[in-house]
Chains A and B, each alone.
Chain A
Amino acid sequence: MAKEAVKYVWEGAIPLQIHLHKSDVASHPAPPPALVLAPRIGYLPLLIPLIKPYFKDSLPPGEDSIWFDYKGFPLKWYIPTGVLFDLLCAEPERPWNLTIHFRGYPSNILIPCEGEDSVKWNFVNSLKEAQYIINGNCKNVMNMSQSDQEDLWTSVMNGDLDAYTRLSPKLKMGTVEDEFSRKTSLSSPQSQQVVPETEVAGQVKTARIPVRLYVRSLNKDFENLEDVPVIDTWDDISYLNSPVEFLREEGKCFTLRDAINSLLPEFMGDRAQTSGEERSIDDTEEADGSREMGEIKLVRIQGIEMKLEVPFSWVVNNLMNPEFYLHISVLVKAPQR
Chain B
Amino acid sequence: MSQEEKAMEAIKDALRALRKRHLLEEGAHGPAISALSRPIISQGSEWKEKTEKLETELQQCYKAQSRLSEQLVIEVAESRTSKAILQEKELLINDLQKELTQRREECTQIQEELEEKTKMVDVLIAENQEIRSQLEEMTGRVQKAESENKMLIDRWMLQKMQDAERLNEANDLYEEMLAKLKANGLETLARQQVDGIVRRNEDGTDHFVESTIPSTCGHRIHAHEGGCGSIIFEYNSGTLFTGGQDRAVKMWDTNSGALIKSLYGSLGNILDMAVTHDNKSVIAATSSNNLFVWDVSSGRVRHTLTGHTDKVCAVDVSKFSSRHVVSAAYDRTIKLWDLHKGYCTNTVLFTSNCNAICLSIDGLTVFSGHMDGNLRLWDIQTGKLLSEVAGHSSAVTSVSLSRNGNRILTSGRDNVHNVFDTRTLEICGTLRASGNRLASNWSRSCISPDDDYVAAGSADGTVHVWSLSKGNIVSILKEQTSAILCCSWSGIGKPLASADKNGYVCTWT
- A-to-B contact residues, CB < 8 Å: 1, 4-5, 8-9, 11-15, 35-37, 50, 53-54, 92, 94-95, 180, 183-184, 252-253, 255, 302-311, 314-315
Contacts and interface: CB of A to CB of B under 8 A. Distances in A.
A307 B9 CA distance: 9
Residue among B7, B29, B44 with the highest chain A CB neighbour number at 10 A: B7
Contacts of A11: 22, 26
Contact of A306 (B4, B14, B19, B29): B14
B341 to A, nearest CB: 129
Given A9-B18, A12-B21, A307 B26 contact: no
Interface in B26-73: 26, 28-30, 32-34, 36-37, 40-41, 43-44
Given A8-B19, A37-B34, A314-B11, A94 B6 contact: no
B163 interface: no
B6 A309 contact: yes
Residue among B6, B14, B19, B22 with the highest chain A CB neighbour number at 10 A: B14
A94 B18 contact: no
Contact of B7 (A36, A94, A253): A253
A12 B11 contact: no
Contact of B11 (A8, A9, A37, A180): A180
A15 B25 contact: yes
A303 B32 contact: no
B40 A307 contact: no
Contacts of A92: 24
B15 A4 contact: yes
Given A180-B8, A306-B17, A309-B7, A8 B29 contact: no
B25 A14 contact: yes
A35 B11 contact: no
B1 to A, nearest CB: 10
A184 B25 contact: no
Contact of A304 (B21, B36, B43): B21
A37 B24 CA distance: 12
Contacts of A53: 40-41, 43-44
Contacts of A5: 14-15, 18
9 contacts: A11-B22, A14-B25, A35-B37, A37-B34, A50-B37, A94-B28, A95-B29, A304-B18, A309-B6
A12 B7 contact: no
Given A4-B15, A180-B7, A180-B11, A303 B25 contact: yes
B40 A54 contact: yes
B26 A12 contact: yes
A253 B4 contact: yes
A1 B15 CA distance: 9
Interface majority SS on B: helix, strand, loop or mixed?
helix
Given A35-B33, A36-B33, A311 B22 contact: no
Nearest to A85: B25
A145 B4 CA distance: 42
B13 interface: yes
B30 A13 contact: yes
A190 to B, nearest CB: 19
Given A15-B30, A253-B3, A307-B10, 16 more contacts: A8-B22, A12-B21, A13-B30, A14-B25, A14-B26, A35-B32, A36-B33, A37-B30, A184-B8, A253-B4, A302-B18, A302-B21, A303-B25, A307-B9, A307-B14, A309-B9
B29 A37 contact: yes
B489 to A, nearest CB: 144
B21 A307 contact: no
A47 to B, nearest CB: 11
Which 7 A-B pairs rank lowest in CB-CB distance, beginning with the nearest? A15-B29, A310-B10, A304-B17, A13-B26, A307-B10, A8-B18, A306-B14
A326 B44 CA distance: 37
B33 A15 contact: yes
A11 B25 CA distance: 10
Given A36-B37, A37-B30, A255 B13 contact: no
B5 to A, nearest CB: 10
A48 B308 CA distance: 141
Interface of B: 3-4, 6-11, 13-15, 17-22, 24-26, 28-30, 32-34, 36-37, 40-41, 43-44
A94 B25 contact: yes
Contacts of B41: 53
Nearest to B19: A8
Contacts, number: 103
A301 to B, nearest CB: 9
Nearest to B13: A307
B18 A311 contact: no
Nearest to A181: B11
Contact of A37 (B6, B13, B18, B26): B26
B15 A12 contact: no
A94 B10 CA distance: 26
Given A11-B22, A94-B24, A37 B33 contact: yes
A38 B348 CA distance: 162
B9 to A, nearest CB: 7
Contacts of A310: 7, 10-11, 13-14
A15 B26 contact: yes
Contacts of B33: 15, 35-37
A5 B22 CA distance: 11
B36 A35 contact: yes
A92 B11 CA distance: 22
Nearest to A39: B26
Contacts of B34: 37
Nearest to B21: A303
Contacts of A311: 7, 10-11
A333 to B, nearest CB: 23
Contacts of A180: 7-8, 11
Nearest to B15: A5
Contacts of A183: 8
A303 B27 CA distance: 14
B200 to A, nearest CB: 157
A12 B23 CA distance: 10
A178 to B, nearest CB: 10
B350 to A, nearest CB: 134
Nearest to B1: A309
Contact of B22 (A12, A306, A308, A314): A12
A180 B6 CA distance: 12
Contacts of B18: 5, 8-9, 12, 302, 304
Contacts of A35: 29, 32-33, 36-37
Contacts of A36: 33, 37
Contact of A255 (B7, B26, B37, B40): B7
Contacts of B11: 180, 184, 310-311, 314
A9 B26 CA distance: 11
Residue among A95, A253, A304 with the highest chain B CB neighbour number at 10 A: A304
A304 B19 CA distance: 10
A37 B18 CA distance: 17
A107 to B, nearest CB: 30
A255 B6 CA distance: 10
A19 to B, nearest CB: 15
A95 B40 CA distance: 20
A14 B30 CA distance: 9
Nearest to B4: A253
B502 to A, nearest CB: 127
Nearest to B26: A13
Contacts of A94: 24-25, 28-29
